[in-house]
Amino acid sequence: MSWWHRLDGRIIVDDGDNVYVIHPDDPDHPDNIRDDDAHSPCEGG
């Protein structure tokens, strides 16, 4: 798994199969990864 910060503050996470975007300043953003969704398939779109 790799991750990196973007200049706009978002965090990009690449787990090898999917790429996720985390918005640390918006914890309710639907793109965020949540522990309770960790076992659900996420197509991100």
pLDDT of residue 6: 81
- Predicted TM-score of the model (pTM): 0.47
| Rounded distance between C-alpha atoms, residue 39 and residue 43, angstroms | 13
Whether 38 is covered by a domain: the verdict is no
| Rounded distance between C-alpha atoms, residue 34 and residue 42, angstroms | 11
Total domains in the chain come to: 1
The answer to whether the CB of 44 falls within 8 A of the CB of 19 is yes
Q: Percent helix, strand and coil across the chain, each rounded to 5?
A: 5, 25, 65
1-45 residue pLDDT tens: 787 888 778 888 888 888 888 877 777 777 766 555 445 555 554
pLDDT of residue 28: 76
- State the residue range of the domain holding 27: 2-33
Whether 40 is covered by a domain: the verdict is no
The answer to whether the CB of 1 falls within 8 A of the CB of 15 is yes
